[in-house]
Amino acid sequence: MHKHTGSNIVCLVGAPRSGTTWLQYLLAAHPDIKSGRESYVFMKLCELKEDWLALKKNGIGMACYQTDAEFFEILDDFKNRQLDALTKGVGTGQIFLEKTPSHALAIPQIAALLPEARFIHILRDGRDVVASMLAAKKGWGEEWAPKNARRAAKIWERHIHAVESAKSGLKPGQFYELRYEALLEDTAAELRKCIDFLGMQWSEEALRKAVEANTSDKMRKTTQLAVSGEVAKTDAANAAMPDGFVRKAKAGSWRQDLSMSQRFQIWRVARKTLGDCGYAWPYFFL
């Protein structure tokens, strides 16, 4: 069992439908970046710890039976074995890129578990995110996507706020943020900045190839990332991307996608956060 500090783990986070998958595919094209499907591994690990501490505060829980040190040793062993599984194929000098959007909500906790983990946050105009979530609801994302614009806007806002308040607690060099719109405008330049943040080398030629291999047109026809473990026993090795997963890959198409009442709902919930993030929106009907 390896003692994981997170030095070879990078968490790619963001509100769902912000382009996390696209950036993941781009980065995972690098030969020394391994990646896989959404693992959700940190959510529950963090909850195990938080739960123990919260119960202890109320004078109950396993803290009545074991010391802090005893529990943290047990939790650490569980964590390390889960992370061994996650990073199985990752060689020396390579990194594992973990993309689970909702890890955005648990950055401080993840950083406490893995003090050397790094984070990349992809930020996208909340109005486009809402439009994309509502589209997902009508198709492949029915199970998880919100049913109305108000809820979708709240999800976006919750993720953005969580990342925003977590940033200040991270060490310099641990956090990098980019815009979906910028990635769309100049994919190669933004990808290069990510790679620089990770401290890796990538020839211009290879980087351009990665960009070309992962355009929205190609991504629509691509397969999901390979799996091992239990899912590999049942899933086809190359499961297709769900239909509609890669959508318009545009910025600003919320103007066509959202009705006036949906715009109003978003505006009410999120105009302040949108403004703070540089997506100023003084009047919802504009």
Partner 1 sequence: MKKYTGSNFVFLVGAPRSGTTWLQYLLASHPEIQSGRESYVFSKICLVHQEWHKTRKSGMGMASYQTAEEFMSNLFDFEERQLDALTKNLKPGQILLEKTPAHALYVPQIAWFLPEARFIHIMRDGRDVVASLMAAGNSWGEDWAPTSARRAARIWKRHVQAVDDAKTKLKPHQFLEVRYEALLEDTARELRRCIDFIGLPWPEEALRQAVAANTSEQMRAGNGKALTVSGELAKSTAKALPDGFVRKAKSGAWREDLSLAQRFQVWRVARKTLGKFGYAWPLFFL
Q: Given the rule CB under 8 A, which of 8-16, 55-63, 119-127, 202-210 is the region that contacts partner 1?
A: 55-63
* CB closer to partner 1, 39 vs 253: 39
Question: What is the side-by-side order of every strand in the sheet holding 95-99?
Answer: 33-35, 95-99, 9-13, 118-123, 175-179
- Is-contact 271 281, C-beta < 8 A? yes
For the four alpha carbons of 113, 115, 118 and 120, in that order, the dihedral sign comes to positive
What is the closest distance, in whole angstroms, from the C-beta atom of residue 84 to partner 1 in the complex?
Answer: 9
Residues 14-43 that bind partner 1 (CB under 8 A): 36-41, 43
Q: Given the rule CB under 8 A, which of 57-65, 110-118, 160-168, 172-180 is the region that contacts partner 1?
A: 57-65
* CB closer to partner 1, 61 vs 108: 61
What is the closest distance, in whole angstroms, from the C-beta atom of residue 222 to partner 1 in the complex?
Answer: 15
Q: Given the rule CB under 8 A, which of 9-17, 48-56, 120-128, 152-160 is the region that contacts partner 1?
A: 48-56
- Is-contact 265 250, C-beta < 8 A? no
> What track of x and - describes contact with partner 1 for positions 58 through 97 (by CB under 8 A)?
xxxxxxxxxxx-xx--xx-xx--xx--xx-x---------
**Residue 10, beta-bridge partner list:** 97, 118
Phi, psi of 238 (to 5 degrees): -120, 70
- Which residue, among 263, 244, 261, has the nearest Cα to 252 in the 3D structure? 263
Length of the chain (residues): 286
Q: Is residue 51 close enough to count as binding partner 1 by CB under 8 A?
A: yes
* CB closer to partner 1, 24 vs 174: 24
- Count of CB atoms situated within 10 Å of the CB of 53: 13
What is the closest distance, in whole angstroms, from the C-beta atom of residue 183 to partner 1 in the complex?
Answer: 23
46/252 Cα distance (integer angstroms): 36
- Among 91, 139, 229, 275, indicate the residue that binds partner 1 (CB under 8 A): 229
85/110 Cα distance (integer angstroms): 17
How far are the Cα atoms of 18, 130, 278 from residue 265, in angstroms, in the given order?
19, 11, 19
DSSP designation for 174 = S
Number of residues that bind partner 1 (CB under 8 A): 47
Angle 231-233-235 from CA coordinates, rounded to 5°: 60
- Among 204, 230, 243, 260, indicate the residue that binds partner 1 (CB under 8 A): 230
Residues 138-177 that bind partner 1 (CB under 8 A): 143
Token readout for 120 is 């990349």
What is the closest distance, in whole angstroms, from the C-beta atom of residue 37 to partner 1 in the complex?
Answer: 5
* CB closer to partner 1, 37 vs 167: 37
* CB closer to partner 1, 241 vs 249: 241
Binding site for partner 1 (CB under 8 A): 36-41, 43-44, 47-48, 51-52, 55-56, 58-68, 70-71, 74-75, 77-78, 81-82, 85-86, 88, 143, 224, 227-233, 235, 239
